[in-house]
């Protein structure tokens, strides 16, 4: 008998989230979905960059230097990805977020110049279970990391509960666990960056992660300049407007899809799909 699909929807980390579980036991599916939701909400509360009462804010405000094992692991991995992406993926880019509060391009650029010397993970060190900064200005933003981490955590929960067929989608950060009950791979649509309600292509996933970073997702316009939610040391000038990466973990896919938006020439060994302004697809 074919297993039933149970779908659960909620919002976490400002994103619509979906959990698809193939299981004959509705109560078990509901319980698993609840655990996934609780884990996601816990991570959201703990690492919310904009919540002054979050644990991450306590670190950024220098109110604590003690790291629990989970935070130490995340920050250690962030440092590693910083090196692997030639310093493109940088969790201290949040240091420049304050510049976006300015009302003119000139003032934004002035603020960026002031803060830029304090950007870079080399400005914080982890020793044993403590973190230290070499200046009072560097702050950490795990926004490009935690939602992806939450999906990987959801997969761990599913595997622990002996579920072998499921699909997790947290705002476009996706993991396909196993295959559909009949053995088919999961089919995932890649959005047309110029018409996000339409798909430009599809990919097949089985025990794989997929994330897409795109300049159309979130941005703000100040005077005549568009500022993407993806903050780099320089304004985004790439012809690429969408970058998709497929890997074995959502965190890894998320890191590299973000990095490719900043530097599409970055050499990676993972499967990728890049889309430019003319809707040409590069793989």
**Residue pointed to by tokens 């989970």:** 70
Q: Between 223 and 42, whose confidence is greater? A: 42
Backbone angles phi, psi at 106, to 5 degrees: -60, -45
Residue 263, pLDDT above cutoff 60: yes
- pLDDT, residue 102, reads 58
- pLDDT, residue 106, reads 75
Give me the mean pLDDT over the 134-145 stretch: 94
pLDDT, tens only, 75-125? 999 999 999 999 999 999 989 887 666 557 777 788 888 999 999 999 999
Tell me how far CA of residue 127 lies from CA of 31, 62, 198, in angstroms: 38, 16, 48
What is the rounded distance in angstroms from the CA atom of residue 200 to the CA atom of residue 280? Answer: 10
Residue 255, pLDDT above cutoff 90: yes
Handedness of CA 147, 148, 153, 155 (dihedral sign): positive
- pLDDT, residue 53, reads 97
Mapped onto helix, strand or coil, the DSSP state of residue 69 is helix
Assess contact for 243 and 268: CB atoms under 8 A: no
- pLDDT, residue 131, reads 98
Q: What is the pTM of this model?
A: 0.89
- pLDDT, residue 229, reads 46
Give me the mean pLDDT over the 143-150 stretch: 93
- pLDDT, residue 225, reads 55
Percent of the chain with pLDDT over 70: 89
Percent of the chain with pLDDT over 90: 76
- pLDDT, residue 104, reads 74
pLDDT, tens only, 173-194? 999 999 998 899 999 999 998 8
Class of residue 276 by CB neighbours under 10 A (exposed 0-12, middle 13-18, buried 19+): middle
Give me the mean pLDDT over the 191-210 stretch: 94
Which ranges constitute the DSSP H helices of the chain? 26-46, 55-60, 69-84, 105-115, 143-160, 250-262
**Binning pLDDT at 50, 70 and 90, where does residue 239 land?**
confident
Give me the mean pLDDT over the 21-26 stretch: 96
What structural domains and CATH numbers belong to the chain? 1-47+146-182 (no CATH), 55-141 (1.10.3980.10), 185-283 (3.10.520.10)
């Amino acid at each position: 008998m074919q297993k039933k699909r149970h779908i659960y929807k909620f919002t976490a980390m400002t994103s619509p989230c979906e959990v698809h579980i193939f299981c004959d036991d509705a109560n078990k599916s509901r319980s698993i979905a609840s655990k996934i939701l609780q884990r996601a909400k816990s991570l959201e509360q703990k690492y919310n960059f904009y919540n002054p009462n979050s644990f991450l804010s306590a670190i950024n405000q220098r109110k604590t230097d003690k790291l629990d094992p989970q935070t130490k692991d995340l920050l250690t991995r962030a440092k590693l990805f910083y090196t692997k992406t030639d310093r493109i993926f940088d969790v201290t880019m949040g240091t420049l977020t304050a510049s976006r509060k300015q009302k003119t391009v000139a003032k934004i650029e002035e603020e960026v110049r002031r803060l830029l010397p304090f950007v870079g993970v080399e400005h914080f060190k982890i020793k044993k279970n403590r973190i230290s900064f070499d200046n009072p200005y560097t702050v950490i933003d795990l926004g490009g990391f935690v939602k992806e981490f939450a999906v990987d955590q959801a997969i761990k929960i599913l595997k622990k509960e002996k579920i072998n067929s499921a699909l997790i989608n947290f705002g476009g950060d996706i993991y396909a666990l196993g295959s559909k009950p009949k053995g088919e791979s999961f089919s995932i649509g890649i959005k047309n960056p110029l018409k996000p309600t339409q798909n430009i292509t599809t990919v097949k996933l089985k025990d794989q992660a997929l994330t897409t970073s795109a300049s159309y997702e979130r941005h703000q316009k100040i005077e005549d300049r568009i500022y993407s939610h993806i903050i780099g040391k320089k304004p985004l000038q790439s012809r690429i407007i969408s970058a998709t990466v497929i890997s074995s973990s959502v965190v890894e896919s998320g890191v590299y899809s973000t990095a490719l938006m900043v530097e599409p020439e970055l050499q990676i060994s993972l499967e990728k799909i890049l889309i430019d302004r003319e809707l040409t697809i590069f793989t």
